Chains A and B, each alone.
Chain A
């Protein structure tokens, strides 16, 4: 469509300009408050007019998000937000389209739409709040709940293995895959900004605490006492170091093709031995290894951007094909000419 009324000059927005004025109705202490706060802080600097931003959501606690944003918004059907976003973005490529979803919405009922959005690299941002529980239905197992987890539908422990969301996203061809944590405000804000700057499907997994049904799910990652040893903050072009004194690091063992945790200064390990993070590498293998890093005990949990590569998006390709078809058309056919293509005959009166 060519009917946008984009203002020529983007106003100097503040965070308040992105607040709808409706008071959020999440439980006290919910991680969603922190997330919306960071998103509302990130948007003013994006250089996009408020009316050209659309938030689309499915069903779940996280999916109330659009109501609280002063933008265009759609609160849709459980799991299917990426399909609405895809249609909207394809038809209106100038819009900035966000999907806000949760672990159940995106990975259970909406798993199909999730992987296909990533496969197509449609230019939308997907913020997935992962609290590893069904909150809105009051505490059932989710596709990211741990094996053995006791919930209302798994009173004897969950028999299901969880998804590893960044690995799933990378496997589906994600061009931007990142992770952050609700309580790490500055980090989350930076990741949201990076997602916004990315052209293509930008997937951000946000670890989010549900204080009512799964409180403390990420405590062993966020507690001050342990977080330095448990969080691996990935930064493009920088060595993958962590720990209180940043002496622990990730090294690639070429004999086993595994990543290992080493300590700089011990056993002859030098800083130069530490793997340097390269989010822009087209080959996703290393990103995939990092996404799986904490699946084994003793490894830190990576947060930050696993992968950020540029590849033509489905909306770009679609409109390029439209442009080529228009350019190739010898002339603009009138409606009768269009309808009379092919073999015709005339009946005289």
Chain B
């Protein structure tokens, strides 16, 4: 079998970056193929950024247009901030996948098609009246490579004894083998990875390895490819790396809090797409000081977390839009009680059930203002998959330091997307420092709402003799915490809770401007659009334009210097995956600033090209 041991006869061309999209039926294993190719690329030292895009149905009817599942990966020899706008390479496993994705492929891009799936029934399901592969325009517009992966997989597994269903499920490894050959990867690590992945089913491991190797060899022996490619290793900062998705990184961040503080991290929540991996990961880490509780509903999930916080635990809940809506009353209570709590909202397409597996940034205003009464909470947003780790730790640090619930916004794109993550040293980590009140704080009495100079109240937990006290959702006396219906006290408490949250600004770094400190246009982003907007600003400057970029990590409080920064630019443009929520917020926060809102709400991350185009129109 020809693998990496046989020297290739092809010339190898070096490329700086390539965007590859694997698309197929939900049951075709495209997520696995994409993730495996990403892993191999990361291990080869490339920078990677990914965009998995799949339907909400677990197994949509085979061959249907809405059952198409895709995984896009951008591989580069330099720092990559986005999964790439449009693919250079499209691997389409069936007609429906071709139909829904071909329009995205770059002109002249490489189109690899599994022709074995282009049967009359599949063509019909995809709505093709005739086989599109026979279209000469297609063949001349792209570098079209036709491979009957079904048949080649079957022949690789002839005599294996596997059922035809199992054989059919191996064909994604043919595609993976082919792409590994095309991008000059070593086959051995992938073979080992397959063996590990299927160690409980050795017969499937061997079958997948055979098919993988068949795909690898096919690239070499067939005359379909005249060259191979190599993406040189990226110059990432020195260190040990792994790949993480945003959800995995967030879970790592919370577990790290437990490890660094020696305090229990308590997670209460309810599964909801696309946040579920956070609780799934945390549930595995009991030995690291994490206790998880899958509650009966979203409300009980946050309720349990608040109960645990009253008991002194470092409490977390995670959810997505509809779940956040259910948790609103509880967040109001957490504001009232002034207990530390981190609420993670992994935003998805809304309103209502919306588009559960698609990304959106449309919960910003709800996060900032969506509670009854005057109930301000600090709000921050993660900016990349790996940043979810840092944002999780930072959210907990602020929650504990200021005795307040904190809302951490992520989104479906960050949650599912992956990128290399450098393992930090202990010294780089935020210090989460819970302080429990042990003694009375006014003479012999304990006043649960007697504040320090930063307006933070003490945290006395059950089990501490002499500090027994009651807290609750009724307005409280500003010292004793007992129920008070006094109007003046109520106003005082509202203003003091608001001032405390404003004081959090001491933990909010000044916003940094990437590019000229003043000029024609400032792009302002928040959350998961960081990568696209930063890349667009760089591209515009490369065109000689005076364009800078500022990214907001903290949405409440906003950085102290933000107003002044905004006023330094002739124009401000705010790109978002919503209907203009940050732009609205900035208008209200900084009178006179009227940002140009650029929005797209199609379930996908913003494209760099559309931002560049829009900015050029504005300039």
Contacts and interface: CB of A to CB of B under 8 A. Distances in A.
A113 B311 contact: no
B307 A83 contact: yes
A84 interface: yes
Interface residues of B, number: 73
B463 A4 contact: yes
B303 A87 contact: yes
B465 A88 contact: no
Given A94-B463, A346-B239, A56 B307 contact: yes
Interface string A131-143: 0000000000000
B429 A335 contact: yes
B237 A74 contact: no
Contacts of A7: 465
B241 interface: yes
B311 to A, nearest CB: 4
* Of B291, B301, B467, most A-chain CB atoms within 10 Å: B291
Nearest to B42: A345
A54 interface: yes
Contact of A87 (B42, B288, B308, B337): B308
B259 interface: yes
Interface in A292-325: 318, 321-322, 325
Contact of A50 (B238, B306, B436, B465): B465
A51 B239 contact: no
Contact of B470 (A67, A329, A338, A346): A67
B252 to A, nearest CB: 6
Interface in B224-258: 233, 236-243, 252, 255-256
Given A67-B483, A84-B303, A326-B286, A92 B312 contact: yes
B297 A112 contact: yes
A347 B310 CA distance: 44
Contacts of B242: 339-340, 342-345
Interface residues of A, number: 66
A95 B304 contact: no
A320 to B, nearest CB: 10
Contacts of A53: 462
B147 interface: no
A3 interface: yes
Given A72-B468, A80-B300, A344-B423, A87 B307 contact: yes
A328 B287 CA distance: 8
A67 B448 CA distance: 14
A5 interface: yes
B377 to A, nearest CB: 16
B308 A90 contact: yes
Contact of A86 (B233, B295, B426): B295
A149 interface: no
Contacts of A112: 296-297, 300
Contacts of B241: 344-347
A112 B298 CA distance: 11
Contact of A20 (B43, B304, B313, B470): B470
A77 interface: yes
B463 A91 contact: no
B308 to A, nearest CB: 4
5 contacts: A7-B465, A90-B291, A338-B256, A347-B238, A347-B240
Interface of A: 1, 3-7, 20, 22, 49-54, 56, 59, 66-67, 69-77, 80, 82-92, 94-95, 112-113, 116, 318, 321-322, 325-326, 328-329, 333-336, 338-340, 342-349
